[in-house]
Amino acid sequence: MALKVGDQAPDFILVSDQHEEIALKKFRGKKVILYFYPKDDTPGCTREACDFHDNLEKFNKKNTEIIGVSKDSIEKHQKFKQKYHLSFTLLADEKGEVCESYGVINKKSLFGRSFLGIERSTFLIDEEGVICAIWRKVKVNGHSQQVLNELN
């Protein structure tokens, strides 16, 4: 069953790019932008991460944490963050279990072949852990601003 606005966000524990175990419930009392993206250091994912980073101060003023999730390894996350000077948390969901619980693993096609992959998706979670907005099949350009508008 797909998650919808008003649902409790599925809790999880994943390892961050800093080798810390991060639980979603650790962020209670703050809003969380939990965004799922296909792959570190690819054009769309880089643009999306950099847009969130460029607006970080605005999100911080709204008591909002940004957390990126992909199936990349901790090491890949570290290189990605370093290369683009990203200063928010990236989580490694190498087994895809959290991606599955949020319903972001979908059939995709590229160059005529089909495969399962992460559909770019963002969840806005309130201070109590409830989902208050969902964006699926995110278009990168302007997405960070869309999320900011939702917070206003």
* Per-residue model confidence as pLDDT tens digits over 43-77: 999 999 999 999 999 999 999 999 999 999 999 99
Q: DSSP 3-state assignment of 101?
A: helix
Q: Is 130 helix (H, G, I), strand (E, B) or coil?
A: strand
Select which of 45, 50, 99, 132 is catalytic: 45
Q: Is there a contact between 91 and 76 (Cβ–Cβ < 8 Å)?
A: no
4-18, 21-35, 40-54, 102-116 — which is least confidently predicted?
102-116
In tens, the pLDDT along 72-114 reads: 999 999 999 999 999 999 999 999 999 999 999 888 777 788 8
Give pLDDT, residue 144: 94
Averaged pLDDT for residues 8-30: 96
Mean pLDDT score across all residues of the chain: 94
Looking at residue 1, its pLDDT comes to: 65
pLDDT value of position 107: 80
Can you tell me the distance from the alpha carbon of 29 to that of 18, in angstroms, rounded to the nearest whole number?
Answer: 22
pLDDT at position 116: 80
Per-residue pLDDT at 115 exceeds 80: no
Told to judge if 132 belongs to the known catalytic residues of this protein, a careful annotator would answer no
Has domain 13-151 been given CATH number 3.10.420.10? Answer: no
Q: Are 121 and 102 in contact (CB under 8 A)?
A: yes
Query: Token digits for 133?
Result: 């907005």
